[in-house]
């Protein structure tokens, strides 16, 4: 029954996401059919087999053709897959150093004439390159590109392109908005690997190469999966992902030596603790020889860590790194470290300062197989916040940037909020770490500080809903994340159009309307939620819907510091928390000054009167009124544009998004009314357009 359910799901367009492989019925069918007579396979690995299977699947779906597979007589085939070591490049008029200037995951796609026969070569530097080249070729066919004269050379710009699952052993997902876990059921790891395999296909098709499969919050023995009870099934999941070029990682409880090992301490400098970790790591590698390593959240939000023993985070990470090093494993140590019991009214304990204050003093003390994972902002994935000044401040330590694909504070996949424009803005931010032009994207790809390890990680947004992401349009965030991590130089427009073509086809009205909705959705969401970078005005706990004073730790006062005179967090050097001083001088001066601070971040850095005039010419209070009214009206326009597509796209997808838009409109109205009413009553200043404020 379960297998039949998966089979039935695979027939649904919403399940297939961007791997639609729709039947080609027009004149293009003849143009592509000739390329799928026979597939030549020069390299025999599990990853190459995945590439071959994907081509067969796509050909049968798009062209109703099952190509022959030939591993011996390559000159009789139309598409050849192999690494540059297994394909005799000279026979095709190609240089043996064709891939010399690309990294190990790079590839070349080349149309050649061989003995008057046209062939397409999918040449990888390694078998991973073969797989990525295969997905690239299939993207070209799905977008109806010509294959007659291909010469494509490509390789990922980032070494690590990682997804973090926040899935729990009971099947729930922390900050999950698309059903339950595909990895866990009934307090155990699933035996059904078909959907796991389809997820691996989706991730591999957008260039992902690493995944952690359990929540960073690991609480007790029953949720800690580095045990004999769970490792045999973790091994099975690792085998699925390995076939698609994806390495598996596990999140751990830092107190595991106590919880699992019956030790009295988890002190990283204790010899018994060090030996326990070495034994545990050796055990894991017996099950998973290519295990990637550990993801660790420590000393934050009541999680255990080295602070409990008077040690710093380098001490804490290095004990794990020492254990993993003989196996080439790594430690990914999250920099989300702060004391959630601190008094926000005390200027010395500004949460935004925490990561920088904890980690810059120990830059250079981490072993070379430790990676610090740094959130894009210093707070917590808000719709708008300053860029973390820790990005660029660590010259001697490997680092990732951490993004959040799951929409915890951006609508929870009930509201459409396309995050690629936000991520592009983050990656293009100039830190000035090595002078002008030192952008985030160049720091996290390792080129600025010549890091041993570098890359991008993000919290996943998938669950076991039929369409993976709850809101079908939220698939664009996962797709966009993958494509952007592969190449941060791709434009938002390029990524958006590509996803729409692959998911919906190329009907002009469909492309135009969905493009408009996606490209404007982040700004619209920002308009009707928290203004000018102040963030947080959400219901505590679940974080959906407005609650102006509802931040979890509001016992210390409201996060936004609004009173009858003004609003905002003073983070200036002169009168505030001094947070602005953590940036390099050019940005510090910009953010510290009212005259130069960008409007969209004003309240993140400054406390100002409601009558303060923005660069836009509006007062702060009028901006709050205007944007919240505008956000609702913009959403109504989205709804109209979506309704215009009735009959032009899959009915299941249409109804799913239509239903979500109805939920979003009610949410937007609630935000508009609560925020405007709150600040009208707080400030006593009327809307100058005389609109109704309750």
Long-range interactions of 336-339: CB distance < 8 A, separation 24+? 336/297, 336/300, 336/375, 336/380, 336/402, 337/298, 337/299, 337/300, 337/305, 337/313, 338/300, 338/301
Q: How far apart are CA 167 and CA 8, in angstroms?
A: 25
- Residue 691: its pLDDT value, please? 95
Closest CA to 594 of 614, 621, 567, 569: 614
List the catalytic residue out of 60, 357, 380, 630. 380
Sign of CA pseudo-dihedral 552, 539, 462, 227: positive
CATH 3.30.379.10 residue ranges in the chain? 1-154
Residue-by-residue DSSP string for 581-602: GGS-HHHHHHHH-TTTS-GGGH
Q: How far apart are CA 388 and CA 352, in angstroms?
A: 8
pTM listed for this prediction = 0.97
Instruction: Check residue 46 and report its DSSP letter.
Output: H
List the catalytic residue out of 408, 415, 526, 570. 408
Q: Two tokens at 501?
A: 């073509």
Strand partners, 38: 68
Give ∠ CA 464-467-471 in degrees, rounded to 5. Answer: 105
Is residue 59 within a helix (H) or strand (E), and if so which, with residue range? helix 46-63
Sign of CA pseudo-dihedral 122, 126, 127, 128: negative
Q: Two tokens at 404?
A: 């959040």
CATH 3.20.20.80 residue ranges in the chain? 160-491
Q: Which CATH architecture has domain 528-569+607-683?
A: Alpha-Beta Complex (3.90)
Q: How far apart are CA 384 and CA 531, in angstroms?
A: 9
Closest CA to 176 of 470, 533, 552: 470
Residue-by-residue DSSP string for 268-298: TT-HHHHHHHHHHHHHHHHH-TT--EEEE--
Q: How far apart are CA 537 and CA 612, in angstroms?
A: 21
Residue-by-residue DSSP string for 111-158: EEEETTEEEEEEEESSHHHHHHHHHHHHHHHHTT---TT-EEEE--S-
Q: How many CA atoms lie within 13 A of 279 on its CB side?
A: 12
Task: List all residues 6 or more positions away from 55 whose beta carbon is below 8 Å from its beta carbon.
Answer: 36, 39, 67, 79, 134, 138
Q: Is residue 380 flagged as an active site residue?
A: yes
Closest CA to 522 of 432, 409, 623, 427: 409
Q: Is residue 595 flagged as an active site residue?
A: no
- Residue 458: its pLDDT value, please? 98
Q: How many CA atoms lie within 13 A of 251 on its CB side?
A: 24
Strand partners, 121: 80, 110
Q: Is residue 408 flagged as an active site residue?
A: yes
Task: List all residues 6 or more positions away from 352 whose beta carbon is below 8 Å from its beta carbon.
Answer: 378, 379, 386, 571, 577, 579
Neighbours of 91 (CB within 10 A): 12
- Residue 1: its pLDDT value, please? 43
Q: Two tokens at 487?
A: 């190449």
Residue-by-residue DSSP string for 174-207: TT--SSS-SSEETTEE-S--HHHHHHHHHHHHTT
Q: How far apart are CA 205 and CA 64, in angstroms?
A: 22
User: CATH for 160-491?
Assistant: 3.20.20.80
Give ∠ CA 615-618-623 in degrees, rounded to 5. Answer: 110
Q: What residues in the chain have per-residue pLDDT under 50?
A: 1-3, 554-555
- Backbone torsions φ then ψ of 74, nearest 5 degrees: -70, -30
Q: Look at the chain and count its residues.
A: 694
- Backbone torsions φ then ψ of 160, nearest 5 degrees: -105, 130
Q: Two tokens at 675?
A: 């925020």
Residue-by-residue DSSP string for 62-91: HHS---EEESS-GGG-SEEEEETTTS-GGG
- Residue 339: its pLDDT value, please? 66
Q: How far apart are CA 274 and CA 270, in angstroms?
A: 6
Q: What is the largest CA-CA distance in the chain?
A: 83
Q: Two tokens at 306?
A: 């080295």
Is residue 384 within a helix (H) or strand (E), and if so which, with residue range? none
Residue-by-residue DSSP string for 500-545: HHHHH---HHHHHHHHHHHHHHHHHHHHHSS-TT----B-TTT--S
Instruction: Check residue 672 and report its DSSP letter.
Output: H
Sign of CA pseudo-dihedral 518, 520, 521, 523: positive
Q: How far apart are CA 131 and CA 370, in angstroms?
A: 28
Q: What is the dihedral of CA 557, 558, 559, 564, to 10 degrees?
A: -120
List the catalytic residue out of 301, 365, 618, 650. 301
* Cβ(388)–Cβ(426) below 8 Å: no
Provide the total of helices (H) and of strands (E) in the chain, helices listed first. 20, 18
Q: How far apart are CA 249 and CA 241, in angstroms?
A: 11
Q: How far apart are CA 24 and CA 26, in angstroms?
A: 6
Give ∠ CA 499-165-55 in degrees, rounded to 5. Answer: 45
Radius of gyration in angstroms for the set of CA atoms belonging to the chain, rounded to a whole number: 26
Assigned fold of 1-154: Chitobiase; domain 2 (3.30.379)
């Amino acid at each position: 029954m379960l297998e039949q359910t998966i089979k039935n799901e695979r027939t649904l367009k919403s399940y297939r996401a961007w791997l639609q492989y729709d039947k080609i019925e027009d004149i293009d069918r003849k143009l592509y059919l000739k390329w799928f007579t026979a597939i030549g396979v020069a390299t025999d690995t599990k990853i190459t087999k995945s590439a071959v299977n994907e081509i067969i699947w796509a050909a049968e779906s798009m062209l109703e053709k099952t190509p022959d597979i030939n591993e011996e007589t390559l000159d009789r085939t139309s598409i050849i897959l192999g690494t540059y070591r297994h394909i005799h490049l000279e026979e095709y008029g190609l240089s043996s150093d064709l891939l010399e200037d690309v990294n190990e995951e790079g590839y070349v796609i080349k149309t050649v004439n061989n003995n008057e026969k046209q062939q397409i070569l999918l040449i990888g530097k390694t078998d991973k390159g073969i797989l990525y080249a295969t997905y690239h070729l299939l993207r070209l066919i799905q977008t109806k590109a010509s294959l007659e004269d291909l010469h494509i050379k490509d390789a990922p710009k980032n070494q690590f392109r990682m997804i973090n699952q926040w899935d729990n052993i009971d099947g729930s997902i922390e900050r999950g908005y698309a059903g339950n876990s595909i990895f866990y059921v009934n307090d155990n790891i699933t035996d059904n690997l078909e959907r796991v395999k389809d997820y691996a296909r989706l991730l591999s098709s957008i260039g992902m190469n690493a995944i952690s499969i359990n929540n960073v919050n690991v609480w007790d023995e029953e949720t800690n999966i580095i045990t004999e009870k769970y490792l045999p099934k973790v091994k099975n999941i690792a085998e699925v992902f390995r076939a698609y070029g994806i390495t598996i990682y596990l999140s751990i409880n830092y107190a595991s030596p106590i919880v699992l090992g019956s030790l009295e301490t988890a002190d990283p400098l204790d010899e018994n603790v060090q030996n326990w970790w070495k034994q545990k790591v050796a055990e894991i590698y017996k099950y998973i020889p290519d295990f990637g390593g550990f993801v660790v959240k420590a000393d934050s939000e009541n999680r255990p860590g080295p602070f409990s023993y008077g040690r710093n985070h380098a001490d804490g990470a290095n004990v794990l790194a020492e254990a993993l090093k003989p196996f080439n494993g790594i430690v990914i140590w999250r920099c989300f470290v702060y004391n959630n019991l601190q008094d926000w009214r005390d200027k010395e304990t500004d949460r935004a300062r925490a990561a920088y204050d904890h980690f810059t003093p120990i830059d250079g003390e981490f072993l070379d197989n430790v990676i610090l994972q740094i959130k894009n902002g210093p707070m917590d994935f808000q719709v708008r916040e300053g860029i973390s000044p820790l990005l660029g401040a660590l010259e001697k330590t490997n680092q990732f940037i951490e993004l959040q694909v799951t929409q915890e504070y951006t609508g929870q996949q009930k509201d459409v909020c396309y995050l690629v424009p936000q991520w592009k803005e983050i990656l293009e931010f100039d830190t000035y770490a090595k002078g002008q032009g030192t952008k985030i994207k160049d720091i996290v790809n390792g080129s600025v500080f010549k890091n041993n390890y570098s890359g991008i990680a993000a919290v996943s947004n998938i669950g076991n809903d039929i369409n993976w992401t709850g809101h079908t349009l939220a698939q664009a965030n996962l797709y966009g994340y993958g494509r952007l991590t592969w190449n941060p130089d791709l434009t938002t427009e390029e990524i958006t159009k590509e996803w729409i073509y692959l998911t919906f086809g190329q009907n002009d009205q469909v492309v135009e309307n969905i493009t408009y909705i996606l490209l404007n959705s982040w700004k619209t969401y920002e308009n009707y939620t928290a203004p000018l970078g102040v963030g947080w005005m959400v219901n505590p706990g679940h974080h959906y819907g407005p609650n102006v004073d509802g931040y979890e730790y509001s016992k210390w006062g409201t996060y936004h510091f609004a009173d009858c005179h003004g609003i905002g967090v003073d983070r200036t050097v002169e009168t505030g928390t001094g947070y602005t001083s953590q940036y390099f001088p050019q940005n510090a001066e910009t953010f510290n000054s009212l005259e130069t601070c960008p409007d969209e971040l004003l309240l993140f850095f400054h406390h100002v009167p409601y009558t303060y005039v923005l660069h836009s010419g509006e007062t702060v209070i009028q901006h709050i009124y205007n944007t919240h009214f505008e956000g609702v009206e913009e959403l109504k326009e989205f709804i109209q544009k979506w309704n215009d597509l009735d009959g032009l796209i899959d009915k299941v997808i249409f109804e799913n998004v239509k239903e979500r838009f109805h939920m979003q409109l009610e949410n937007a109205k609630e935000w508009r009314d609560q925020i405007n009413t709150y600040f009208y009553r707080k400030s006593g200043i009327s809307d100058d357009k005389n609109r109704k404020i309750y």
